[in-house]
Amino acid sequence: MPNRILWADDEIDQLKAHIIFLEGKGFEVKPVTNGEDAVSLIRDETFDIVFLDEQMPGMDGLATLEQIQSVNNNLPVVMITKSEEESIMEDAIGNKIADYLIKPVNPNQILLTTKRILDKRRIENEKAAQSYLRNFNELSNRFNEQTDWKGWIDIYKTLTHWEMNLESSDEGLQQVLVDQFQQANQAFGRFIKYEYKSWLNDDAEGAPILSPNLLEKKVFPRLRDDETVVFVLIDCMRYDQWLLFQESLNDFFSIETDFYYSILPTATPYSRNSIFAGLYPLEIKQRHPQLWEMGQDETSLNRHEEELLKLYMARHHLASQVKYEKIIQPEDGNKVADKISNYTQNPLSAIVYNFVDTLVHSRSDSEVLKQLAPDEAAFRSLTRTWFQHSSLLRIFKELADEDVTVVVTSDHGSVRSMKDTKVFGDRDAATNLRYKYGRNLKAEDNAAIFIDKPEDYRLPVKGPANSYIFAKEDYYFVYPNNYNKFQNRYRDTFQHGGASMEEMILPVAVLKPRS
Q: Residue 238 in contact with residue 383, Cβ under 8 Å?
A: no
Which among 407, 406, 352, 386 has a CA at the least distance from the CA of 236?
352
Domain membership flag for residue 117 = no
Cα–Cα distance between 148 and 145 in angstroms, integer?
8
> Residue 363 above 80 pLDDT?
no
20, 167: one domain: no
CATH number at residue 58: 3.40.50.2300
Phi then psi dihedrals of residue 287, to 5 deg: -85, -35
**Helix, strand, coil content of the chain in percent (nearest 5):** 50, 20, 30
Q: Mean pLDDT highest for which of 83-97, 215-229, 357-371?
A: 215-229
pLDDT digits (tens, 9 = 90+) for 155-185: 999 999 999 989 877 888 999 999 999 999 9
Q: pLDDT tens digits, residue range 69-114?
A: 888 888 999 989 886 665 555 555 555 688 888 888 999 999 999 9
Q: Are residues 400 and 301 located together in one domain of the fold?
A: yes
Residue at 252 is within a domain: yes
Q: What is the pTM of this model?
A: 0.81
Q: Is 188 in the same domain as 295?
A: no
113 lies in some domain = no
For residue 204, is it within any domain?
Answer: no
Helices vs. strands in the chain: H and E counts, helices first: 20, 19
**359/230 same-domain check:** yes
The reply to whether 215 and 171 lie within a common domain is no
Residue range 331-346: average pLDDT? 92
pLDDT at 374 over 80: no
Label residues 179-199 b or e (16+ Cβ within 10 Å = b): ebbeebbbbbbbbbeeebbeb
Q: Final residue of a domain: which of 73, 105, 137? A: 105
Statement to judge: residues 13 and 88 lie in one domain: yes
* 186 shares its domain with 217: no
CA distance 218 to 222: 8
Is residue 345 in some structural domain? yes
pLDDT at 84: 60
- The alpha-carbon radius of gyration of the chain (Å, integer) is 25
Q: What is the DSSP string of 182-222?
A: HHHHHHHHHHHHHHGGGGGSTT-TTPPPBGGGHHHHHTHHH
Of 256, 262, 238, nearest in space to 163 by CA: 238
Q: Do residues 192 and 332 share a domain?
A: no
CA nearest to 80, candidates 2, 17, 10:
10
Domain C-terminal end among 197, 232, 260: 197
Give a yes or no: residue 304 inside a domain: yes
Whether 252 and 394 share a structural domain: yes
Interatomic CA distance for residues 513 and 515, integer angstroms: 5
Domain that holds residue 487: 419-491
Residues 394 and 432 in one domain: no
The distance of Cα 323 from the centroid of its chain, to the nearest Å, equals: 26
Q: Could you give the CA distance from residue 361 to residue 346 in angstroms, rounded to a whole number?
A: 34
Task: Establish if 202 belongs to a structural domain.
Answer: no
278 confidence band (pLDDT: 50, 70, 90): very high
Q: Which segment of 192-196, 232-236, 328-332, 473-477 scores lowest on mean pLDDT?
A: 328-332
pLDDT at 295: 40
Is 397 in the same domain as 374?
yes
For the chain, what is the domain count?
4
Question: Is 239 part of a structural domain of the chain?
Answer: yes
Please enumerate in sequence order all residues whose Cβ is within 8 A of that of 50, keeping only pairs 6 or more positions apart, or say none: 5, 6, 7, 8, 38, 42, 68, 75, 76, 77, 78
> Based on the domain organization, do 457 and 370 belong to the same domain?
no
DSSP 263: P
Indicate the average pLDDT of the chain: 90
